[in-house]
Amino acid sequence: MSTASSPYPIVQDLIESFASWLKHRREMAEMRQLDRFDFDRIANDLRIAPDDLEELVRNGQHAADELPKMLEQLGISAEGLGRPQPLLLRDMERVCSLCHNKGECDRDLADGTAAENYHGYCGNAATLESLDRTEVAPR
């Protein structure tokens, strides 16, 4: 529902936030119900460390929201990167999701200074620098 058609957009936002929080809590409860063998098997199937999987679930589905914004500020098309290198993009999402520098990143993204400053805190900096910009530039 858009805020234009809702008579109470703030209430609607609160309801949606609460629903997202409840969904995340259910996902966490489901994860805790798995025995260690099943959990490790799932992590292995996803080709990530069990501890990383646990943290990814704990961080929630929006933990890598900064990555597309960072790519955009660097002139990199997420679609252009994901098409030829989906595993690279997935790994970059994993690194972004596990990042502990979200505050700094969010500030730079909001200020439009991320392209100048990301080298100092971004776990994907080396990968971003290694990309051939001509192949992943927006068209």
Residue spans per domain, the chain: 9-59, 66-136
Quick: pLDDT tens for 41-97.
Answer: 888 888 889 888 888 888 888 899 999 999 999 999 998 888 898 999 999 999 999
The tokens describing 104, both together, are 């700094």
Q: Decide: pTM greater than 0.85.
A: no
Q: φ, ψ for residue 52 (rounded to 5)?
A: -65, -40
* Secondary structure (3-state) at 86: helix
Give the integer Cα–Cα distance in Å for 110 and 129. Answer: 21
Give the integer Cα–Cα distance in Å for 63 and 36. Answer: 24
Give the integer Cα–Cα distance in Å for 110 and 116. Answer: 13
Give the integer Cα–Cα distance in Å for 50 and 56. Answer: 10
